[in-house]
Amino acid sequence: MKGPEGKRTKTKDLGGASAQVENSSLQKTPASEDGGETLSSYWLMKSESESRLEKGVDVKFSIEDLQAQPRQTTCWDGVRNYQARNFLRAMRLDEEAFFYHSNCREPGIAGLVKIVKEAYPDHTQFEKNSPHYDSSSKEDNPKWSMVDVQFVRMLRRFIPLAELRAHHEAHKASGGPLKNMALFTRQRLSVQRLTREEFDFILSLEEKEPS
């Protein structure tokens, strides 16, 4: 498939959000790290913010496009990587995610969304006109899932990938919160889990002028 892997895209004429096919082995993702009481998780979700045709469909979907949706809500469809799918299945109502603009001139974090419907079968896997049709998936045993997300707010300023990378590199030496951030250790994943420390640090950046 053309284009970089791991970028979630939106298929506008299908009413959902879509992602590039990614290569990964099947992994199960626990809802909590310690196997005990389920804890809230934090997420980063990638979406293409500039126009790109895939099988004749423009897969662009920016955070501004989300704002324009009814109730500022959409389904996050088209994820075709098993680990990213398992992360979708691990999401719980009202958990928050950063909306990340990918595959564009300046990638980075644009805003916040929240989960408003937990995982259910992704309809695009069965639609032959969809860029993310999967002929091997069966309706009585669907491979792929999606969640519904709702716009929460724009960040006070856009946090570019270059700034996040600079913090990641510095934190690898200092032991800071972004030292193991999946955005740099698992770059191709279109849905990524964040630690509370990563999430809080990134939120704090919106209050600061970039260095």
All structural domains of the chain: 42-159+187-197 (3.10.590.10)
pTM as predicted: 0.84
pLDDT the model gives residue 32:
42
Under a CB-based contact definition with an 8 Å cutoff, are residues 33 and 178 in contact? Answer: no
CA–CA dist 164, 185 (Å, integer): 13
| Secondary structure of residue 46 in the 3-state scheme | strand
pLDDT the model gives residue 210:
78
Q: Spell out the per-residue pLDDT of the chain, length 211, in tens.
A: 223 334 445 543 334 444 443 433 333 344 444 444 456 799 999 999 999 998 898 999 999 999 999 999 999 999 999 999 999 999 999 999 999 999 999 999 999 999 999 999 999 999 999 999 999 999 999 999 999 999 999 999 999 999 999 999 999 999 999 999 999 999 999 999 999 999 999 999 999 887 7
| Secondary structure of residue 147 in the 3-state scheme | strand
Under a CB-based contact definition with an 8 Å cutoff, are residues 189 and 84 in contact? Answer: yes
CA–CA dist 57, 12 (Å, integer): 8
Bridge partners, residue 48, by sequence: 102
pLDDT the model gives residue 10:
52
